[in-house]
Structure 1
């Protein structure tokens, strides 16, 4: 097989995966998958259950069955019964599962909606902000990270004894910088019941969603969320510890943010950055994590970071050496990798 034929096969498979992603997005937004997880339905029953049109339901069900996502009984086109089996149902619908990837397509759709703006940015500079990408982007990121924070963050930190002891101090004040939808802050509060947690973010809809989540989780007495500006962190300090979960690479001026964190945390207090577990150096072909992060970077994170000027233009693929350089310029003397493994695509760094 020629190189052209090999790449043609790969590109065809990638294109088909794109349409599968769009199908998943439609199936989730229209309630088709949720209905088919409850019981097997004909396309007519699915249309009635979800207030959608039968002919489109039939095409969706046959498409997903052709991919093996749905099971199907034999029969005429309108008598076939379709169902979503437990495995795909967990991945698509179970918001607490570590296998939950249902919202992944929302990020791709968010970028797709702004493709003309992205192309303009690639030509002339500037970017496309998180606010421009809208609810599909912000809500999908929060939803994808939620099970990892809810189920794994507390135990992961407990496995680092000195960090665990500092976070568990009575009356500890913990800052969650770039908190997004708030699930990391809520996880910190559950893990350390003697602490108060303050989440900060520049995105107003995310702060609103975080406040609602705190109320729903019964943690609003110990977790608060603040719409941040450049001076907010210093004004709210001092803190006993600070975290920045998967957000530093999005920030246009990461050194300024790290400097503000250093100034706001008491001397010796832990500063922890969780970011993507990319390779130490660029290589091509790259591993799956780097490939995935380059995809997010080109269409989501780098345009967001470059939407504000001046900008470091970090992008999602923030190598450990890049973070170490930012930390050094912010006044930190050391960056160490914490012994936390098996935490999705992420790596934890402690700055001191």
Structure 2
């Protein structure tokens, strides 16, 4: 009897988990299709109006509205649909937006399916898997920005003197693997004398970065170009070279990577590496704040990567002739390692 009761309890727990995942899937469909955004602009409106405003197929939109209503993202009002507080919280510009959770859930499902198929072959397709779903890639940069932009601006940037020192010299910053440019945009706003170059391998990210810099009036100081760490062109030696949650993508070639960092820095310049802090003790992975990083490490393996310990990064800096300093943030879940060229 006790076993049967435990089984019922487990099923109820998993059912709640499943419904939460489906709610995030419904939110992602609404975001990707512009349906949540259209509903926010229109106020109470029928599905036909939402479909027209979002340039969506009416049949799909009608059924999405039913699903969004079922999961509490939409409510009925004045003969139409209106966003609930929960639905509004998924809008990309909502304070503390829930958008990253919806994007990450769909990306997680995609990579989980790929990992399941590759488990026996050992194949590791690389970063190309991020572009396998056309609806996901445009949201990848905004997802990272919403997750990590506030941490950088409020916690990391004030704690590291390297940014202020570079700004006082009218310095030049390179962000390798820049995504949609969120890191450089925040630096440029905080330090008006900095000049910035973002390098990324995805055209979508370059397009988003250029568009956002122009809209913010920063295009004269924040530029973007397609490339990678092995072949980027720099107009001058850099005061700062940043890799934000990107070093693990090129760790297999770390000797080459750290030589490139060293050679592209001015004397006194610094490489600033931000990575998830992979714990030395496996038991730490069961902490609620670290659980996701354990699964993400599986997804990184699909891409040919794995997460790192800060001590590994510091050692690589030393081998390359750079002086390392390790900073821990968010109760040790995130690490920034600064390597300064003498």
Specify the TM-score bucket, using the shorter chain as the normaliser.
0.7 to 0.9
| Equivalent position of 1:172 in the other structure | 171
Matches within 5 A, 1:270-349: 270-277=270-277, 279-283=279-283, 286-299=286-299, 301-304=300-303, 306=304, 313-315=305-307, 318-337=308-327, 346-349=334-337
Cα deviations by residue, 1:40-94 (Å, 9 ceiling, x for unpaired)? 2344554455455666545433433333333335xxxxx86432134541x3113
Partners of 2:202 and 2:57 lie apart in 1 by: 37
What's the CA shift for 1:254? Answer: 5.7
TM-score (norm 1): 0.78
Maintained 8 Å contact 1:70/1:83? yes
RMSD of aligned Cα (Å): 3.5
Aligned residue pairs: how many?
333
- What residue ranges of structure 1 are gaps of 5+ in the alignment? 74-78, 307-312
> What does residue 338 of structure 2 align with?
350
State the TM-score, normalizing by the size of structure 2. Answer: 0.80
Is structure 2 residue 258 aligned with structure 1 residue 258?
A: yes
Q: Does 1:19 align with 2:22?
A: yes
In structure 2, the gaps of 5 or more residues are none
Distance verdict in 2 for CA 1:276–1:136, change over 3 Å: farther
1:122 CA drift (Å): 2.2
The alpha-carbon distance between structure 1 residues 108 and 123, as it changes in their structure 2 partners (threshold 3 A), is farther
More strand by share: 2
Secondary structure class of the residue paired with 2:205? helix
Once the two structures are superposed, residues 20-42 of structure 1 have per-residue CA deviations (whole angstroms, 9 ceiling, x without a partner) of: 22211222233332233241234
Q: Give the whole-Å Cα distance in 1 for the aligned partners of 2:223 and 2:49.
A: 45
Deviation sequence 1:213-254 (CA, Å, 0-9, x none): 323332222222233345445865521122111212233536
Worse-superposed segment, 170-179 or 216-225:
216-225
8 Å CA contact 2:21–2:105 kept in 1: the answer is no
Q: How does 1:144-293 map to 2 (within 5 A)?
A: 144-147=143-146, 153-156=152-155, 159-160=158-159, 162-232=161-231, 236-253=235-252, 255=254, 256-277=256-277, 279-283=279-283, 286-293=286-293
Query: Helix, strand or coil: the match of 1:220?
Result: coil
Following superposition, the deviation at residue 19 of structure 1 comes to 1.9
Can you list the C-alpha shifts for 1:121-146, whole angstroms capped at 9, x where unaligned? 32222323333321444432310233
Cα deviation, residue 174, structure 1? 1.3
